[in-house]
Amino acid sequence: MKVLRVPLSCPLVFLLLLTPAEGNYQVIGSHEPIVAVQGDDVILPCHVEPRVSMVRYTVEWSRPDLKPDPNDRLSRVEYVHLYRDSREVPDMKISSYVKRTALFTEGLIHGNISLKIINVTLEDRGRYKCFIPKLKGSTEQFSIVHLVVEPVSTNTSTTETPLQPRDLPTPKHTGGFSSPCIVMIVVSCILVIGVVIGVIICRLSAKNKSQGYLQSRCLTQVQIGSCCEQR
């Protein structure tokens, strides 16, 4: 019975086949500019291909167009966001980005190294560099993402009501009475009715007075006649 002997190097070859070959890693960002409005929160997309955990790697986000501080003798580069030893390093951060940037910690396991910037300003616009310095054997260790920040629009013509609106349709005359005419007619009718009622009251009052006068004369005459008969 023959025993098939497998060389000891075969398991090693098998493991090498499962491991991504060196030189295949790439840091990939957005090829299109990221557009945001002043005051918005924005995400600068960036990830590593093939997908590999970035938890133990150093991730650097910087502004390549910004020059180092001339007063700094060491000409140290300040970062928009620096992730090292599985945590953020704020000591070397640009002051204007303090408490305004963050990585997606859960996404680092899957190679997601996108950067979130809170409350963007006009000074934030420009180029951003995403760099993995210790990504050995990679063809691309960094990527450039361009951020465009637009100012808040001050055009309020759509919300303001014009004081003198134009191009409004002119109401057509329908041939009926307008409101002022109706009011005048009603007032005139009330005045006429009041005058008629006043005349009627005056006549009734005069009639009552005349009847009272006649009654008083008749009573007087009756009294005089009775006096004469007694004599």
Output the domain CATH number for residue 104. 2.60.40.10
Please, which pLDDT band fits residue 131 given cuts at 50, 70 and 90? very high
Domain termination residue (choose one: 102, 132, 150):
150
Chain centroid, CA 55 distance in Å: 36
Distance, CA of 39 to CA of 35 (rounded, Å): 12
Q: Total structural domains in the chain? A: 2
Comparing 25 with 169, the larger pLDDT belongs to 25
Assess whether 105 and 190 both reside in one domain.
Answer: no
Assess whether 97 and 210 both reside in one domain.
Answer: no
Q: What's the mean per-residue pLDDT of the chain?
A: 78
| Percent of the chain at pLDDT exceeding 90 | 45
Query: Given its phi and psi angles, is residue 17 left (phi above 0), alpha (psi -120 to 50 degrees) or beta?
Result: alpha
Distance, CA of 191 to CA of 204 (rounded, Å): 20
Distance, CA of 54 to CA of 60 (rounded, Å): 12
- Residue whose C-alpha is closest to residue 148's, from 176, 168, 128, 173: 128
Domain span including residue 206 = 182-223
Strand runs labelled E in the chain: 26-29, 34-37, 42-44, 46-49, 59-62, 81-84, 87-88, 101-103, 115-117, 126-131, 142-150
Please, which pLDDT band fits residue 214 given cuts at 50, 70 and 90? low
Tell me which of 15-29, 72-86, 156-170, 187-201 is least confident: 156-170
Would 171 be classed as within a structural domain?
no
Burial class (CB in 10 A: 0-12, 13-18, 19+), 46: buried
Assess whether 113 and 199 both reside in one domain.
Answer: no
Q: Which residues face 42 on adjacent strands?
A: 117
